[in-house]
Structure 1
Amino acid sequence: MNILFRYGEFHNLTFAFPTQKYQYLYPEYFSAENVYGFSSRKQQKINIMCHHMRFSLSEVEKVMPSDTFYFTILRNPVSLMESSFAYNRKATHSLQSAESIEDFLNNTTTFYNIKDDDSAYAKNLMTFDLGFNHNGPTSLKHFKLLYHGVDTMFDLVLIAEYFDESLVLLKDALCWTFDDVLSFPLNIRSNASRHVLSVKTQERIKIWNQLDWQLYVYFNNSFWNHVERFGRERMKNEVEELRKRRAQLSERCLDDQVEPDQLKDKSMVPYQPYSITILGYNLKPGLDKHDQLLCHRLVIPEIPYNDLLWDKQIGKDNVTT
């Protein structure tokens, strides 16, 4: 999201902001009516739509141009569920009573309620976000319907575990430059906020999130087929170049990565979920005007960056909650 925010800001592009500013009435399906300023009678030129949503292609097509490039990113369901449990357990009905992720998996019939509006945080979250039934059947036929549906809707599916390779493919598909896709890791949890999973627990997560797991396996294979077409040697060289530029930029911009109470600029404190510590960055002192702007935009958390872009595009007086 930081990459898309920066590209849009630096190229003076127009974003599709949610009427509620941060999300499109999630976990409801996306609706064109959720876009600030949308009117079915007057087509507004939108360049980038990147806020969190439950995807609905027909509704997105009402807002975005016909030549829109659609892409998404998938994450290993094992690490995704560990992360979701840490971030969302206190606010999610199906998770809040479980003492641990192992406790939840051992007692899903007790904890999990299919009727809860927020149940996707506890099962097949990616399937849900992509617009499908996260409690759907787990048969080969339905697996095929799922990943062929995603394949049809999206021009490119990235893989979080191969983020640099994904950025290279995205750069190539959009005819962007290395500078356009440079980024630093954001929303990083402190080590104390992480939970190491046993092999047994990891396997149980795969079974519990079987729709997500089949989706991930299919698109992981598809991803590497894409890399083959791109060229393995070419990919290796471009990933090395991307990492070299990131290291140079890190040396230029970053003083240190710290916990929230150690951030010198308190406006740069990332959102802190209950009982989880999210790290932030201090920038090097004495940056020139150009570097100050670039470095600031690379590390600014999602919410304050969203506010900054909202104010530039829509204005401070037009605020919704």
Structure 2
Amino acid sequence: MMSKRTVHCSNVPHLKIATAVLIVTGTILMILQIWCSKVPDRSENRTNLRKMLLNKGRGSCQPKRNIFFLKTHKTASSTIMNILLRYGEFNNLTFALPVRFTYYFYPKHFSASYVDSFSEKGNKNFNIMCHHMRFRFTEVQKVMANDTFYFTILRNPISLMESSFSYFKDKGPFAKAKNLEDFLTNTSTYYDVKMNKSHLAKNLMTFDLGFDPNGLDTIKNAKSTQGTIDRIFKLVLIMEYFDESLILLKNALCWSFDDILSFPLNRRSNTTKKALTLQTQEKVKRWNSLDWQLYIYFNNSFWKHVKKFGRERMQREVRILQMKRAEAGKKCLQGGVSPSHLKGTQFGITTILGYNLKPGITTNKPLCHRLIIPEVQYSNLVRFKQKRKQTQIHYYKARA
């Protein structure tokens, strides 16, 4: 009996180990069963893993795919547009393109019917909208998804007015003025709200945003306009702080530095720029008082965003962006393009600068090309690729 008890007691540790193994094994099997029931498709696992790797370093955020950019005039908006066109093309996104040309029947207020392939009965399948329009939020909502990220860009009205006069001086109220000083001194002679292209000559940003450029210049009206824009647009960039603006945009969209890489596009030659006297600058501010109030408000708002982002962090990230731009310039660029080579790709009569690609580029050639392509040509390229994609989809549906 003693020997049997001894044998029985000596097996107790082994029984405990065996029991523990069975419990652990059962637990693992149960976890695997739950996991498999939640993830029935291995290809989905691979896709999720790829997304995790691509988003490494972005924290918990996911890159935004539904984006609306109000492309205001003469505000470096062509450079922003290039960034959006490139991101959409490289990520196989769908653009809400104008039915014709590269603008939505501007200067008319925007209508959803101005979008190519838009249907009232169809789903909101567009990801990016970024061509010139006179903004009308209720119509844009018909086209873009509910989770769309809205942003725009503003510029100091003083430099904007100087640029607009140089660019549009053969149009509308500017056409008969000797120079900008002459126009501002004699606005009652040159400006008529009913005149064709009168919108180019007064409160241009206010007009692009969909408001009346000849509206009342009152505190109440200014606050109402600012409040409306604040509610719709999650971010308002400032042209004078372009690199800081790109960093805020990168952060808001959960993008990478490569996504916001750019060279200045549709930029004037320095020979066409005119220095304005202090007296002329004051006249510009009074004539464009609605734009001036907008600029002051959203410039302050911009720096609140920077403060929240962190000034030291902003300085670091701006340096990284500038370094990446310089590296891309060394890899891609060789000198500038003669203005005559850009004829037919831009509007206006002032001298516009462009770029030449380095000959013999083998690596990153598509990226280099996209970085310098003018907006008209890039829009046509995107339209062609999108039409081809739609044709292929219709073809395979017909065969199915």
- Under TM normalisation by the shorter chain, which class is it? over 0.9
Query: Conserved in 1, the CA contact under 8 Å of 2:154 and 2:236?
Result: yes
CA distance in 2, matches of 1:269, 1:73: 26
Partner of 2:356: 282
Which of these residues, 238, 247, 264, is aligned with residue 326 of structure 2? 247
Partner of 1:195: 274
Partner of 2:194: 115
Larger Rg: 2
Please state how far the C-alpha of 1:260 moved relative to its aligned partner. Answer: 2.3
What's the secondary structure of 2:118's corresponding residue? coil
Deviates more, 1:194-203 or 1:70-79: 194-203
Query: Conserved in 2, the CA contact under 8 Å of 1:268 and 1:304?
Result: no
Structure 1 runs (4+) greater than 6 angstroms displaced: none
Please state how far the C-alpha of 1:117 moved relative to its aligned partner. Answer: 4.3
User: How many matched pairs?
Assistant: 311
Partner of 2:380: 307
Alignment TM-score, normalising by the size of structure 1 = 0.93
Partner of 2:52: none
CA distance in 2, matches of 1:143, 1:63: 28
Query: Conserved in 1, the CA contact under 8 Å of 2:173 and 2:192?
Result: yes
CA offsets per residue over residues 136-172 of structure 1, 9 Å max, x none?
A: 0111111111111111110110000001000000000
Partner of 2:18: none
Letter in 1 for 2:118: F
Q: CA distance change for structure 1 residues 317 and 269 in 2, over 3 Å: closer, same or farther?
A: farther
CA distance in 1, matches of 2:212, 2:336: 39
Please state how far the C-alpha of 1:272 moved relative to its aligned partner. Answer: 5.5
CA offsets per residue over residues 3-28 of structure 1, 9 Å max, x none?
A: 00000000010000001131000000
| 2:251 maps to 1:172 | yes
- What is the percentage of aligned positions where both structures have the same residue? 56
CA offsets per residue over residues 190-229 of structure 1, 9 Å max, x none?
A: 1222222111111110110000000000000000011000
Partner of 1:218: 297
| 2:137 maps to 1:63 | no
**Gapped runs of 5+ residues in structure 2?**
1-80, 392-400
Alignment TM-score, normalising by the size of structure 2 = 0.75
CA distance in 2, matches of 1:269, 1:194: 22
What's the Cα RMSD here? 1.7
Partner of 2:367: 294
Please state how far the C-alpha of 1:44 moved relative to its aligned partner. Answer: 4.0
| 2:348 maps to 1:273 | yes
Please state how far the C-alpha of 1:94 moved relative to its aligned partner. Answer: 1.0
Letter in 2 for 1:35: V
What's the secondary structure of 1:273's corresponding residue? coil
CA distance in 1, matches of 2:381, 2:343: 12
**Gapped runs of 5+ residues in structure 1?**
none
What's the secondary structure of 1:279's corresponding residue? strand
Query: Conserved in 2, the CA contact under 8 Å of 1:24 and 1:53?
Result: yes
Letter in 2 for 1:134: P
Partner of 2:218: 139
Deviates more, 1:111-120 or 1:177-186: 111-120
Please state how far the C-alpha of 1:258 moved relative to its aligned partner. Answer: 3.5
Superposed counterparts of 1:43-192, under 5 Å: 43-91=123-171, 93-192=172-271
Letter in 2 for 1:298: L
Higher helix proportion, which one?
2
Query: Conserved in 1, the CA contact under 8 Å of 2:173 and 2:190?
Result: yes
Letter in 2 for 1:77: P
Query: Conserved in 1, the CA contact under 8 Å of 2:155 and 2:239?
Result: yes
